[in-house]
């Protein structure tokens, strides 16, 4: 019998963890003449989302995404048009799911876990990004950081999910391809599961919690979680 707390709920990040961010590359190639600017823009977006939260402020993630796009354009002396911002927001809301998502979610549902999402994105009208990707129905609930006015990895975001579900954070496992997300979840007692999507890796630093589960394939990550749960029972 393991001393690991039994898990009841698997919490999934959405953007890049479930939905394929790389499908935005043609947009960045058109606007900047270089598809790799996507990675620069996204890193700046995460930086400034965290900056906003640390400063005690909040703006919708989509508005921040547009503002950062304009800022990157200024840095590169490229005039970003409002039509570009609108197109980017539309593309973000229409990203497809990775091919390993449905098998992994099905595996976890069949094992009896509650499945929910926790995203930095604000709630959207139907059809939602997850509905467009064809995976919304595989989840039991969906949560947005807009409810607490803080972006991940602020502790209140993960605590909000636990409170809404009426469970302790120790029964949650945060699945994300961003190590800052699993670190944030683990800081409030959740377990962390890291999926190594392209351009994302674990952070090996003494004193920083390592994920409880790590894989390059989401179905394998799901198998790890299921096997660990069997040991605790």
pLDDT digits (tens, 9 = 90+) for 56-92: 999 999 999 999 999 999 999 999 999 999 999 999 9
Residue spans of the domains in the chain: they are 9-20+95-232, 21-92
Instruction: State mean pLDDT over 174-180.
Output: 98
Please determine, for residue 2, whether its predicted confidence score (pLDDT) is greater than 80. Answer: no
Block residue for tokens 């479930």: 18
| Residue 169 in tokens | 């954070």
Q: Which CATH number fits domain 21-92: 3.30.230.70, 1.10.150.240, 3.10.310.40, 3.40.50.80?
A: 1.10.150.240
Cα 96-99-102 angle, rounded to 5 deg: 95
Please determine, for residue 5, whether its predicted confidence score (pLDDT) is greater than 80. Answer: no
Strand duo 141-144 + 114-119: pairing: parallel
Angle at which helices 37-54 and 25-32 cross, to 10°: 100
Q: Is the pTM of this model over 0.85?
A: yes
Residues 6+ apart with CB under 8 A from 230: none
- Domain 9-20+95-232 CATH superfamily: HAD superfamily/HAD-like (3.40.50.1000)
């Amino acid at each position: 019998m393991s001393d690991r707390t039994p898990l009841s709920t698997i919490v999934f990040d959405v953007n890049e963890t479930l939905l394929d961010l790389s499908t935005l590359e043609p947009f960045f190639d058109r606007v900047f003449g270089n598809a790799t600017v996507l990675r620069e823009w996204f890193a700046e977006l995460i930086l400034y989302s965290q900056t906003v939260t640390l400063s005690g402020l909040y703006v919708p993630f989509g508005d921040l995404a547009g503002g950062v796009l304009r800022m990157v354009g200024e840095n590169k002396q490229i005039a970003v048009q409002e039509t570009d911002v609108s197109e980017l927001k539309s593309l973000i809301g229409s990203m497809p799911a990775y091919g390993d998502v449905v098998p992994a979610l099905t595996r976890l549902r069949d094992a009896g876990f509650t499945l929910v999402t926790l995203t930095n994105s604000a709630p959207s009208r139907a059809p939602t990004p997850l509905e467009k990707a064809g995976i919304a129905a595989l989840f039991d609930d969906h949560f947005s950081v807009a409810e607490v006015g803080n972006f991940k990895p602020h502790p209140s975001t993960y605590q909000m999910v636990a409170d809404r579900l009426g469970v302790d954070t120790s029964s949650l496992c945060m699945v994300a391809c961003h190590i800052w997300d699993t670190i944030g979840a683990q800081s409030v007692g959740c377990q962390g599961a890291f999926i190594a999507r392209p351009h994302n890796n674990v952070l090996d630093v003494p004193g920083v919690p390592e994920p409880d589960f790590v894989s390059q394939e989401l179905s394998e990550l799901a198998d790890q979680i299921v096997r660990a749960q069997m040991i605790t029972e």
